[in-house]
Chain A
């Protein structure tokens, strides 16, 4: 089965692109920040410089870890679900559930090691850039030189490997449990039910978000810049919590825009039906939109308020504050990039998987334009739902921080920041889905349904 896993990786590399990219990028981010610890150790930095470096490695790396586990689980689940027919085939020729689990876990583990080793290169470069930033803002003295060592490599490979394997085991258990005939049917109709584990995790993350928000509003009140540390993570927790609830949210939410979407005629009709009947697949597409919007909006407005408050106080920003500001932007840049790649890959994989369905619609008399229209409407609904949830998640950071920093809930910062993030999310979602769908309808319909 391990041999089969390696063979399946080699022969159909395309199917694993999404999982590989999230592992690759995730390990790069983790290693970039973890190398700050190596740097602190190797250079023998002391005092403020050491604590800055170690904090950076632990705290920021921690966010990355969370995102990696999440992204790998969601992409892997998608890729395994897409192979439901293949799993059923393997079972029909006598593969036991344990053998299937070994195959899926084997694929994920091999992929993780490869991704993490390759991720070391951008990880080291990113870490170097990060240190240069810390030098530039005088948070770390210039004589502290960069080191990329065992801690970075160990953490990067270890975390990626562990999260991939855990994700694979969770996914495989679910895939292997389904009986042969059911697996073929499951590919057709999938209800948007929430597993108990998923509900529990969602509850935990939302609780953490509320906790961070309350801590920020109470204990951090009037503590100035320090409030950022606590409030900055609240939007991430909230975004992950809401993303875990995405199947339910998507199902509920499609009831609301059904009217306006149906007004677009048959394409609207089909879009609404797909959103309702394929809730699980649609929810995995919403997930990265929520993360993207929640984290980007939350962090950007957090920084905007901080900048405005510093300016209002009349004193020039300290090196420390400037450093944090730049760091915030770096983190957000990486996280947003990560979420964007995850978004693109989830959508590409999900849309390519629908080639047969598109073919069936075309054979029933749909023109390519009608198929693309349906996809466009679905994307629009997904964007609205994702941006809505993301905005809610961002409030977990913005409001508590504003309360703590200046005693009012109104955020500073231009509305254009928000418009920009939303436009980017909408453009990424729409263009990716339409591009992938366009490729899918280029195949002759008769071929598409037999493939």
Chain B
């Protein structure tokens, strides 16, 4: 469905590193009132993985996603997507970098209101100057369950349908890695399940890498692993998450952070 046609369905591509962050820092504001959104985050995610990023509000999870996805520049540190370092000056360079490697799904869908479903899905290809394979776009839209809505405008669709269009749009360029910023945040539970199912399918069947920020333990449980973020730092990692385990850990995250901080202070004091 989402993969190259040459690759037989069901086999993941050879394992490699899809995303690597090295000591990424992001600081906002002027000298007077600095806010450290990311405080030296390092991580490595293998290709074909589905990772959820969780953390309380203000923990820096959206900043992490934006820096990793080339929507924002870290103040320090390196970001490598599919082995290529995110670099270059200016928005145009970042945009071109993203086009080849990154797909993005937002909480508020961000479909262009004046374009039809079909036009929205083929837009990234047109913008990148790539050949527009309409048959393939139609096929992807059919797989997300919108094969009969090609000529509709976003305003004529439900939230769940709009998000499925957004997923189709993100996948049409066949990106190595797909980021989701609270992709189910504006959806009812049934639409949310559909969307999460599509993301899982992209990973399991076609070997895409998905990184999803969420605050919903149920959504996080659809991932293979969960990264916990607090105060701009990674404070925990959990594989094969269940909603209960994730919720439990979130509840005690504050205590955990406090414990790590005091132990850090003790070490520093020695």
- CB within 8 Å of B: which residues of A? 185, 187-189, 265-266, 269, 273-274, 277-278, 357, 359-370, 441, 444-446, 449-450
Contacts and interface: CB of A to CB of B under 8 A. Distances in A.
B180 interface: no
A188 B113 contact: yes
Contacts of B91: 362, 367-368, 441, 445
A365 B108 contact: no
Interface of B: 66, 71-72, 91-92, 95-96, 98-99, 104, 106, 108, 110-115, 119-120, 123-124, 126-129, 153-155, 169, 173
A364 B127 contact: yes
A365 B127 contact: yes
Nearest to B100: A365
Nearest to A445: B71
Given A269-B126, A444-B72, A446-B72, A363 B110 contact: yes
A187 B153 CA distance: 13
Nearest to B104: A363
Max chain A CB contacts within 10 Å: which of B108, B120, B126, B153? B126
Contact of A188 (B124, B153, B169): B153
A357 B113 contact: yes
Nearest to B132: A266
B96 A367 contact: yes
A365 B123 contact: yes
A367 B126 CA distance: 12
30 contacts: A185-B155, A188-B154, A188-B155, A189-B113, A189-B114, A189-B153, A189-B155, A265-B126, A265-B129, A266-B126, A266-B129, A277-B113, A277-B114, A357-B113, A357-B114, A361-B127, A363-B71, A363-B104, A363-B106, A364-B124, A364-B169, A365-B99, A365-B123, A367-B92, A367-B95, A368-B91, A368-B92, A446-B72, A449-B106, A449-B110
A365 B95 contact: yes
A323 B104 CA distance: 67
Nearest to B98: A365
Nearest to A184: B155
Contacts of B173: 365
Nearest to B90: A368
Given A361-B123, A363-B106, 17 more contacts: A189-B153, A189-B155, A266-B126, A269-B126, A273-B115, A274-B114, A278-B114, A360-B112, A364-B112, A365-B123, A365-B124, A367-B95, A370-B127, A441-B91, A444-B71, A446-B66, A450-B108
A163 B268 CA distance: 72
Contacts of A369: 92
A370 B154 CA distance: 22
Contacts of A274: 114
A390 B111 CA distance: 36
Contacts of B119: 273
A369 B127 CA distance: 11
B95 A362 contact: yes
A274 B106 CA distance: 23
Contacts of B169: 364
The 3 closest A-B pairs by CB, nearest first: A277-B114, A188-B113, A188-B155
A111 B132 CA distance: 51
Contact of B112 (A265, A361, A368, A446): A361
A277 B98 CA distance: 28
B129 to A, nearest CB: 8
Contacts of B104: 363
A367 B72 CA distance: 14
B267 to A, nearest CB: 37
A361 B119 CA distance: 12
B128 A365 contact: yes
B200 to A, nearest CB: 23
Contacts of B154: 188
A265 B111 CA distance: 20
A361 B173 CA distance: 15
Contacts of A450: 108
A273 B111 CA distance: 14
A12 to B, nearest CB: 23
